[in-house]
Amino acid sequence: MRTPLHALAEHGQSAWVDYLSRRFLRDGDLARLVERGLAGVTSNPTIFQGAIAEGDYYDEQLRALLAEESDPKEIFLAIAREDIRSACDTLREVFDRDPSGRDGWVSLEVDPDLAHDTRATIAEAERLHRMIDRPNLFVKIPGTLAGLPAIEETIARGIPVNVTLLFSLDRHRAAGEAYLRGLRRLRDNGGDLRSVASVASFFVSRVDTEADRRLDSTGEHDELKGTLAIANAKLAYQGYKEMFAGAEWEELAAAGANPQRCLWASTSTKNPAYRDVRYVEQLIGRDTVNTMTRQTLDDFQDHGHVAHTLEQGVDEARSCFDRFAAAGIDYDDVTAVLEREGVDKFAASFHQLFEEITRKRDQLART
């Protein structure tokens, strides 16, 4: 049966889901979505924290782990290992039937407490890669200043990377350049470029949330509300096309390299005044990914419209930045604040995850 997700694929965009839980896996929900055209999974500390708090699906494994391990992080990694491996296996057929390595990926994030520590991020990425031991695992590394050299080094070691928490055009380009440097090093060291891939997770709706908040504080320019995030993403895509073109890129591609596709993240609509699938409908284009929450995925399958929108209105997108500057909204500050908040939120969720494991431990001890 042809679904809206298949229609997205026909326009060159892969639909992934930003959700994972053991119940989602064991009840067959992920497998059913794959049959309907889903092509990947992303996860983060917030998702795992919610999953472990949900019901009793983890209780049996927690009992066994708690008999041998007391460190909440090690307990979490053991839990994540089972869920991520299972998701990788569910998506393996998707991964194997696409020799270009576009789809079938599952993402697991490095400890967000390491976001500003390059060496520790590299070591953690290697550890997660070995721990999951699946070819369709993306290790998520934040695109912070410390994360950029970690991305390069991780790619140079042949480990696929999902670069997360990208908000600005400059940082998006820097992430692409880090990927390219890693590819060149891998090639020069005799590595197989076909074994690695990368996506650049460019966050969308949070940009409008912050920009709209600042517009509200001015009491003016309501006409600009809800326009910056989509303009930002459209220009990021133009930057992607520039980076992965030309003689140098063609040489890498001939050796088996894949481009670092744009992945639209944070695509659920935060403002109820906006259409619930606007950040999907307005960013459909070739060689891209949209990772959606379960709710957004369901909403799009119910009433989403598919059209090639990503390259429409590019000139207007460029002028949008000028209009925000004229309104006194500092784009660089908006994206810098969002990056700091993003790292802090994921770190807070990671610690809440440890607290949830401790709560479950105490609960299980009483039963």
Q: Give me the pLDDT at residue 259, please.
A: 97
By C-alpha distance, which of 123, 130, 119, 186 is closest to 156? Answer: 186
Task: Find out whether 263 and 291 touch, Cβ atoms under 8 Å.
Answer: yes
Does the pLDDT at position 235 exceed 90?
Answer: yes
Structural domains for the chain: 4-362 (3.20.20.70)
- Active-site choice (140, 234, 270, 345): 140
Q: Give me the pLDDT at residue 81, please.
A: 96
Each residue of 262-271: pLDDT tens digit? 999 999 999 9
- Helices in 165-266 by DSSP H: which ranges? 169-188, 205-218, 228-243, 247-254
Amino acid (1-letter code) at residue 366: R
Does the pLDDT at position 345 exceed 90?
Answer: yes
Torsions phi, psi for 110 (to 5 deg): -65, 160
Q: Give me the pLDDT at residue 295, please.
A: 97
Structure confidence at residue 56 as a pLDDT band (50, 70, 90): confident
Rounded to an integer, the average pLDDT of 39-46 is: 92
Rounded to an integer, the average pLDDT of 250-279 is: 96
User: 46 to each of 15, 20, 113, 297, 348, how far by Cα in Å?
Assistant: 20, 10, 14, 18, 9
Q: Give me the pLDDT at residue 159, please.
A: 98
Each residue of 62-96: pLDDT tens digit? 889 988 888 989 999 999 999 999 999 999 999 99
Each residue of 213-224: pLDDT tens digit? 999 999 899 999
Structure confidence at residue 364 as a pLDDT band (50, 70, 90): confident
Rounded to an integer, the average pLDDT of 148-175 is: 98
Does the pLDDT at position 167 exceed 80?
Answer: yes
The yes-or-no answer on residue 140 being catalytic is yes
Q: Around Cβ 1, how many Cβ atoms within 10 Å?
A: 6
Considering the chain, what is the average pLDDT of its residues?
95
Each residue of 105-141: pLDDT tens digit? 999 999 999 999 999 999 999 999 999 999 999 999 9
Does the pLDDT at position 361 exceed 80?
Answer: no
